[in-house]
């Protein structure tokens, strides 16, 4: 079974609006990472947040982590059509046997 579960499964917004995606997980983690995937191609690493961090920024991206609720959120501000993609959270328990555990993803559509 998958560790992370993204919510919503799909999101459609207008250009310029903000997009928020959420991720919930089940077990303790070392870090949580967000990835983007365009049209079934390879995944692109966006941001990594450690278990002792609460918030992290990278350009238009803002990630929060609440280990007490076992949840994370990814905020994309001032979205662009080029942000249209699937977004996945991946949890890393530091256990080589598990490696990264990805959720099913959120499909974001940014309409011009």
Give yes or no for residue 48 binding another protein (CB under 8 A): yes
Give yes or no for residue 81 binding another protein (CB under 8 A): no
φ, ψ (nearest 5 deg) of residue 89: -100, 145
Give yes or no for residue 72 binding another protein (CB under 8 A): no
**In the complex, what is the shortest distance from the CB of residue 91 to another protein, in angstroms, rounded to a whole number?**
11
**In the complex, what is the shortest distance from the CB of residue 5 to another protein, in angstroms, rounded to a whole number?**
10
Which residue, among 80, 106, 64, 104, has the nearest Cα to 18 in the 3D structure? 80
Give yes or no for residue 49 binding another protein (CB under 8 A): no
**Distance in angstroms (rounded) separating the CA atoms of residues 18 and 3:** 26
**In the complex, what is the shortest distance from the CB of residue 15 to another protein, in angstroms, rounded to a whole number?**
26
Per CB under 8 A, the segment of 13-21, 44-52, 53-61, 68-76 that binds another protein is 44-52
Give yes or no for residue 96 binding another protein (CB under 8 A): yes
Q: Site for another protein (CB under 8 A): which residue of 74, 76, 101, 108?
A: 101
Structure tokens at 91: 């949890």
Q: Which is nearer to another protein, 28 or 95 (CB)?
A: 95
Distances (CA, A) of 20 to 45, 65, 66, 77, 82: 17, 13, 15, 9, 16
Instruction: Find the farthest-apart pair of alpha carbons in the chain and give their distance in angstroms, rounded.
Output: 43
């Amino acid at each position: 079974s998958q560790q992370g579960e993204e919510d919503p499964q799909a999101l459609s917004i207008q250009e310029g609006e903000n997009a928020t995606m959420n991720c919930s997980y089940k077990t303790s983690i070392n870090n949580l990472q967000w990835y983007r995937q365009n049209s079934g191609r390879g995944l692109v690493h966006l941001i990594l947040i450690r278990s002792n961090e609460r918030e992290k920024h990278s350009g238009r991206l803002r990630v929060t982590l609440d280990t007490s609720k076992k949840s994370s959120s990814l905020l994309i501000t001032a979205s662009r059509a080029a942000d249209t993609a699937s977004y996945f959270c991946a949890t890393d328990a530091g256990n080589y046997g598990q490696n990264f555990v990805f959720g099913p993803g959120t499909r974001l559509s940014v309409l011009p």
